[in-house]
Chains A and B, each alone.
Chain A
Amino acid sequence: MDSSRGGVYLDHAATTPLRPGVVSAMLPFLTEHFGNPSGAHAVARAAKNALEEAREQVADVVGARPDEIVFTSGGTEADGLAVKGVARGARDASLGDGVVVSAFEHPAVLASADRLEVDGFRVTRVPVRREGIVDVDALADALDERTAVVSVMTVNNEIGTVQPLADVAIAVRERAPNARFHTDAVQGAPWLDLARMAAVADLVSISAHKIGGPKGSGALVVRGGARVRPEADGGGQERGLRSGTVDVAAAVGLATALGLAAAERDDENIRIRALRDRLERGLLERCPGSWSNGDPSWKVPGNVNVGFPGLDVQTLLVLLDGEGIAASAGSSCASGAIDPSPVLLAMGYDRHAARSSLRLTLGWSSSNADVERALQVIPEAVERVRAVGASR
């Protein structure tokens, strides 16, 4: 069996299949309505109208004004523009040089912070508690009048824990009045009402392909008052924050997927949470000594992250792939090799535990049959891999 021939897909936090309706919504802007939305003629106007309509739809779902939406090439670009753009904007205006991020942010945020540190900014990486929640007290201690930007994700990508954004926002308002608060909401978009959840943040990153939209499409919400130095210089599109001809089809794909996800969200959360609970409980019951990573009361509906004592998860993934089950673990580097999860390491797990943990993420395309098949295959596979005692 091979996952490419219709297997069980349990890696929705990596990416999702396109929702029905997304491609057909995008297609006209890859064919007849090919215009550059910046132009001044009928061909351009068709594209411009679609772009602005997409902007309104996105703004509506995320709880922002249309002129606060900056379309980007995805979550990574949005995160970089927010963290680096705000920090550099603050320094340009002599308003601060402090950067505060949680220690288990997405690499797009962590690597941006690393870059800023090289450029002379003061960077603090705030510790994360073992249950997968940022330590808000430690975060508050890291804030001061010279803090320029604070970035805490809405939902962690590996263990699915929702972060206390409201508490973070209060700490920022009290201790760092000149700072702007950014949240990477990429993993929150499938599950949470961002208009409510992310309202406390000044900047919000989202990505289309985690919610049934196309890859290469995302947006950054930049609420009024945030001073952002752009990364790309050019024609001044997207209020000067993201020069370059806007990919209209990608924006339409994002808006369509967001709209579909929002409309189904309440029902889907109930359906997927039930699937997830059955999957997680089944694994914990059938695999002796196994444990769940991340505080269950704070996890989004689609995330299972389970550790198995003495298991080499890389070997398990190969075995599961052979059985047609797509799962993941840790973080993949450029070569495709899997390093121990930096998220679990940041939460205080040792390398053995981090190398023994499996991530299964459900999403809109997940079914009862997927869970059945996973429960049929995984416990037996875990036993086989553990029997060898490959992991020291």
Chain B
Amino acid sequence: MSRVLVAMSGGVDSSVAAALLLDAGHDVVGMTLKLWGGPSDSGCCSVGDVEDARRVAAQLGIRHYVLNLSDEFDHEVVDPYVDAYANGRTPNPCVECNRHVKFGHLLSRADALGFDAVATGHHARVVGDTGARFVARGRDAAKDQSYVLSMLGPPVLDRVLLPVGELDKAAVRAHAVHLGLRTAAKPESMDVCFIARGGRERFIAERVEMAPGVIVGVDGGVVGRHDGVGRFTIGQRRRVGVAAGERRFVTAIDAATATVTIGCHEDLLRDEIALDELVLHRPADDGRVHAQVRAHGAPLRARLLGDTVLLDEPEPRVAPGQTVALYDGDVVVGGGIAR
């Protein structure tokens, strides 16, 4: 038995995570993080969600606390998120939240409080032995969340438990129903938790001033205008604001000159991805990896050379700022941020 701190969002997955750890004989305490004080109609930070977590903890008979990490969340997640869009990049806030807030600030507090491990309701698994543990895909392929945990490696993983990763989502809900947990039928959270559905552009615009600029074709000719690069993501097709016969995609964003380049699908294709902040949890055999470039994207066959992923087949360009998770089979062997 060990002492485990479970991050309880008020959703069904972390509710069941707490229940499973209790069943396994651990000494379990629940903690709900208050991460965001601003208005949002979705996500993980509402009074109702905290109340759900509190009630589930009471049903399970475990202690429950609320921890306000909103200053840390602002600093580690929201500010960089806004800054990235303002600079023409497409950030992945869930990845940053997991590595800096949940498995950073929360984990260090768990240490101070004498806990052996922090657990969450992520659909992923921790595999391997002490000192050599890795994140692996959850059993439910459709719900797999290993991507957002890809920056985590040893030694942090010695202190991480992901109990629902062994179950598929239906089994998680069934277990919640079986235990009579009030979160059993709760819908899943979607999108970015601190932004109301569809409100990204306004969220960015309220926080940073952006210069208007031009939209150019791949030949450099001006084809339109825009009021700020924060509206755009590489690969974006809708609303590029240009009337053209053929479908056009954003192929490049230059924040310094506020220039957005659009082109056709072939102009988007690349056969390599350069990575910043590359973390290699273990060396890959012959450099062979599968690269996953979005939360539920297909793994792409590739080879890692230095800090560059060489794709076997060309793929649409990965937006700078996006996380690229590197797999060996089901096991996450590394991660980095597309340059």
Contacts and interface: CB of A to CB of B under 8 A. Distances in A.
Interface in B93-114: 105, 108-109, 111-114
Given A336-B50, A337-B50, A390 B67 contact: no
A384 B72 CA distance: 20
B179 to A, nearest CB: 23
Nearest to A352: B71
A351 interface: yes
B113 A322 contact: yes
Contact of B71 (A318, A319, A351, A389): A351
Interface of B: 31-32, 34, 45-47, 50-51, 54, 63, 65-68, 70-72, 75, 105, 108-109, 111-114
Interface string A307-319: 0000010110011
B66 A336 contact: yes
B34 A318 contact: no
Contacts of A339: 68
Contact of A319 (B31, B32, B113): B113
B65 A335 contact: no
Given A315-B67, A388-B109, 7 more contacts: A312-B109, A318-B67, A319-B113, A321-B65, A322-B63, A337-B68, A385-B112
Given A318-B65, A337-B34, A339-B68, A387 B50 contact: no
A44 B288 CA distance: 88
Contacts of B31: 318
Contacts of A334: 47
Contact of B109 (A333, A336, A390, A392): A390
A388 B65 contact: no
- Dominant secondary structure at the A interface: mixed
A390 B72 CA distance: 10
Nearest to B33: A337
A46 interface: no
B112 A335 contact: no
A91 B144 CA distance: 62
Given A335-B34, A335-B50, A314 B68 contact: yes
A355 B67 CA distance: 12
13 contacts: A314-B67, A334-B47, A336-B54, A336-B66, A337-B34, A337-B50, A337-B66, A337-B67, A338-B68, A339-B68, A351-B71, A355-B71, A390-B109
A384 B112 contact: yes
Interface string A366-392: 000000000000000000110111101
Contacts of B32: 335
B68 A319 contact: no
The 5 closest A-B pairs by CB, nearest first: A337-B34, A337-B68, A335-B50, A388-B112, A336-B66
B287 to A, nearest CB: 38
A2 B113 CA distance: 15
Contacts of B108: 388-390
Nearest to B54: A336
Contacts of B46: 335
A333 B68 CA distance: 10
A231 to B, nearest CB: 25
Nearest to A330: B68
Interface in A81-122: none
Contacts of B34: 333, 335, 337
Contacts of A312: 109
A334 B46 CA distance: 10
Contacts of A389: 108
Contacts of A385: 112
B67 A335 contact: no
B113 A315 contact: yes
Nearest to A319: B113
A312 B109 CA distance: 9
Given A318-B65, A351-B71, A388 B111 contact: yes
A367 to B, nearest CB: 25
A312 B31 CA distance: 16
Contacts of A315: 67, 109, 112-113
B196 to A, nearest CB: 18
A140 B109 CA distance: 46
B273 to A, nearest CB: 33
Among B31, B54, B67, B112, residue most surrounded by chain A Cβ atoms (within 10 Å)? B112
A63 to B, nearest CB: 41
A385 B67 CA distance: 14
Among A2, A315, A333, A384, residue most surrounded by chain B Cβ atoms (within 10 Å)? A315
A353 to B, nearest CB: 13
A335 B75 CA distance: 21
Interface string A328-351: 000001111111000000000001
Contacts of B72: 392
Contacts of A314: 67-68, 109
A322 B71 CA distance: 25
A18 B307 CA distance: 67
A335 B113 CA distance: 22
B190 to A, nearest CB: 21
Contacts of A387: 112
A31 B109 CA distance: 50
A388 B72 CA distance: 15
Nearest to A355: B71
B131 to A, nearest CB: 22
Among A312, A337, A388, A392, residue most surrounded by chain B Cβ atoms (within 10 Å)? A337
A336 B34 CA distance: 9
A243 B97 CA distance: 51
Nearest to B48: A335
B159 to A, nearest CB: 13
A326 to B, nearest CB: 13
B113 A318 contact: yes
B31 to A, nearest CB: 8
A57 B31 CA distance: 46
Nearest to A384: B112
B132 to A, nearest CB: 25
Among A314, A334, A336, residue most surrounded by chain B Cβ atoms (within 10 Å)? A336
Contacts of B113: 315, 318-319, 322
A9 B8 CA distance: 27
A90 B32 CA distance: 46
Contacts of B63: 2, 321-322
A390 B66 contact: no
B194 to A, nearest CB: 15
A370 B72 CA distance: 34
Contacts of A351: 71
Contacts of A355: 71
Nearest to A387: B112
Nearest to A2: B63
